[in-house]
Amino acid sequence: MGRWSEERVINAAPDASSLAAARKLARPGPWSDTGSNDVLVWGKCQGSGKTPYQVSVDTVAPAYRCSCPSRKFPCKHALALLLLWSRGEAADAGTETAGFAQEWAAQRAERATVRERRQNDQPVDPAAQAKRLAERMALMDAGIDDFARWLTDLVRTGLASARRQPYSWWDGVAARLVDAQLPGLAEQVRAMGSDVHARTDWADHLLLRVGRWWAVTKAWRRRSTLAADELADLRVAVGWAVPTADVQGTEALHGPWLVLGAHRSDDGRLQQQRTWLRGPDGTVVVVLDFAAQSEALATPQLAGALLDATVARYPGSGQRRAMFTSPVDPLGMAASLGEGGNILQALEAESAAVAVSPWRDRHPVLLGGVRVCPDDHGWLRDSKGDALPLVDAPLDSLLALTGGHPVDLFGELEDGRVRPLSAVVGGAVVMP
């Protein structure tokens, strides 16, 4: 594996703050036991504690491992090590692989072997497969019935009483949903256990969610009457995943694909990365990547990048999930994100999408000529005077980038709030 360039290391950074912190650590002083071979780069970085952090990077995958508590992948220590390596300031190939790096590589190789064996297994017996499916459906049916009873009790006692419940109350319901093979609903219930205390609009938020959950229970019982796209959207809502093998080969949508923006989240158990793409015909898709806490997410794509790749879409309606079905080759950077609409148009598009699939949590929006206003936690205001509040927004960074001037901005519309993911400033697409 050839040595990475510093530009490639920069492109692997999850955000600007991680890269800035990594540059401060990219000097030999805090590092010891560094080394590299054809696949791995490793080293120990002395932090504020007694024990230095153990850092390992698989430069082929790529994948990252660090013993620090950071939830970012790669973290600042992994980025700093890669910067040292790119400059030739870490030990070169030929050194003995550190034990911690070798152990991590062995674990990853073992997991890959297990996955390969599963993929190469002979087709299962159709009768046994049908039996397992029937057992799962019975389990999910029972879980939906239990969830419907819980919702009925929740409404009967009053939504205000739910706010007085401890988090363990919500977590217990979520655990039963997981046992019933309904992880999508379980994730939403767990999140609500925090939202009812953290959000000022918790009552409206809870009422909306309860309404959606009740609609899910009704739709599930009528799933045999739903169209294929409707059933696919319902499966996403309850967390019944579609195997990637069932998607590969179904279609090949060619690029170039424009990266509109990306977002990473971490709920303490699972990391998720959403990357929004737009094709040459205007088709918008989202590529989802997942990773456990001990693993690294896929290298994020830069907002504004043009990618030469083919994708296939998962079943569903609207802006569907997709997966890359060919190698991804960068073609350069775009100077704009396209023509954006105003806030009213965005809300109308969201309304139309919800009418088709009421389970959707977020919708992609491209807004043209909006200003960032610093009121409260930040607002976006368009030329017509309509405004939407921001969520998960680095307000100081947005204000510094835009200078209060109107910009084109791409983001996710969620619960009446916009999560900004990219903006066009000075003829370039930037991430806030």
Residues of the chain above pLDDT 90, percent:
53
Q: How many Å apart are CA 198 and CA 190, to the nearest integer?
A: 13
Q: Across 53-62, 87-96, 128-137, 272-281, which has the greatest mean pLDDT? A: 272-281
Q: How many Å apart are CA 52 and CA 293, to the nearest integer?
A: 20
Q: Which 8-state DSSP code applies to residue 391?
A: S
In this prediction, residue 15 carries a pLDDT of: 85
pLDDT score of 92 more than 70: no
Residue 303 backbone dihedrals phi, psi, to 5 degrees:
-60, 135
**399-429 per-position pLDDT tens digit:** 999 988 999 999 999 988 999 999 999 889 9
pLDDT band at 116; cut points 50, 70, 90 = low
Q: List, in order, residues 6 or more apart from 402 with CB less than 8 Å away.
A: 371, 372, 423, 425
How many residues are there in the chain? 432
Distances (CA, A) of 200 to 65, 155, 181, 309: 38, 20, 32, 43
pLDDT score of 36 more than 90: no
pLDDT band at 300; cut points 50, 70, 90 = confident
Placement of tokens 């919702």 in the chain: 151
In this prediction, residue 88 carries a pLDDT of: 83
Q: How many Å apart are CA 291 and CA 73, to the nearest integer?
A: 10
Sign of the C-alpha dihedral, residues 349, 351, 352, 358?
positive
pLDDT score of 291 more than 80: no
157 burial (CB, 10 Å; 0-12 / 13-18 / 19+) is exposed
Mean pLDDT of 164-173: 91
